[in-house]
Amino acid sequence: MKIAVFDSHHYDQQALKLANARFGHQLQFFEPRLNASTALLAQGFEAVCPFVNCRLDATTLAQLQQGGTRLVALRAAGFNGIDLAAAKQLGIAVARVPAYSPHAVAEHAFALLLTLVRKTHRAYNRVREADFSLDGLVGFDLHGKTLGLIGTGKIGQVAARIGAGFGCRVLLADPQPDTAFATSIGAHYVARETLLAESDIVSLHLPLSPQTQHLIDAAALAAMKPGAILINTSRGGLVDTGALIAALKSGHLGGVALDVYELEEGVFFQDLSASGIADDQLARLTTFPNVLITSHQGFLTREALANIAETTLENARAFAAGEPLRNAVG
């Protein structure tokens, strides 16, 4: 198939080109995100390949359909940026990559957690300046702490196993509990309210939907233990940023680590070092010493990129061959 790849970077292109040696698709890479302003670039392409911050609303999808696009091959798990009802009405199939490397994201969550609680980022900067003092770098053991995981899909379960390996008491919350899994690692499913109240660390591992939008709001933050840590490597919209800033200002939260942000579009994946951050809330978050932010890089491992490329191109192959789309959404 002739595929227009949007929001592409060197690492995307490298992985897709390598995987495409087996498939033989015609790939054209575009740096801009796919939206109503850039949809004309896909004129004449049978398929488009957007990433998480592309916006395929009804207007964009109509432009794509008029240009000959019949497939949206999303190279990510989340699809909240796509108007699925409009795609169905226009006869455009949508496929995703449901699981690329749950280990990549779960391990990044713990990389953030360990960096935050042991202050290794601050220590690194000190040593670079020949400052070998330890004042202000006191952290805490993960062993013996209560780790609460909201969402126990593939990523959540990997995170739970890692937490159990650290010797944490692991609490789980999910509308569809996997009790056999919980029993296998000595974890326990509890009500979300119980998890928030008892956890020293709360980590989010669930998709963004109308039901989960701002799941962590002012009330949820107030329900957390004083001094607790919040980790979000899932979707930025799960957390109400205004409420998060208020909880940090009051000192209620002990720390926050984010790999995602609800208004990350136009910011994450970009170099803004010359222009600065225009988003006031994001700029405010960066001023807190107990906040750690990475730019949606949880997926960024060699293994995950290879799996994303392989599944994305296989989705396109199956569609072109008239086979059922195993990873269809909508």
Question: Which residues is 95 bridged to in the sheet?
Answer: 73, 328
Catalytic residue among 25, 75, 205, 296: 296
Single out the residue of 204, 287, 220 nearest to residue 253, CA to CA: 220
Say whether 129 is catalytic: no
Cβ contacts of residue 275 below 8 Å, gap of 6+? none
Q: How far apart are alpha carbons 32 and 39 in whole angstroms?
A: 10
Instruction: Let me know if 31 is a catalytic residue.
Output: no
Of 33, 31, 15, the closest CA to residue 23 belongs to 15
Point out the catalytic residue in the list 235, 262, 310, 314.
235
Q: Which of 206, 241, 237 is closest to 221 using CA atoms?
A: 241
Tokens at residue 232, please? 């979000």
Choose the catalytic residue: 46, 107, 262, 264: 264
DSSP3 helix / strand / coil % (the chain, rounded to 5): 40, 15, 45
Tokens of 213: 């939008």
* Residue 227, number of CB atoms within 10 A of its CB: 12
Q: Where would I find the beta strands (DSSP E) of 89-189?
A: 93-95, 146-150, 169-173, 188-189
Q: Which residues pair with 49 in a beta bridge?
A: 5
| DSSP-derived 3-state class of residue 129 | coil
Whether the Cβ atoms of residue 221 and residue 248 lie closer than 8 Å to each other = no
Residue 232, Ramachandran bin (φ over 0: left; ψ between -120 and 50: alpha; else beta): beta
d(CA 127, CA 116): 17
Active-site annotation holds for 235: yes
Contact 46, 3 (CB under 8 A): yes
HEC assignment per residue over 254-266: CEEEECCCCCCCC
In one-letter notation, the amino acid at residue 119 is K
- Which residues are marked as active site? 235, 264, 296
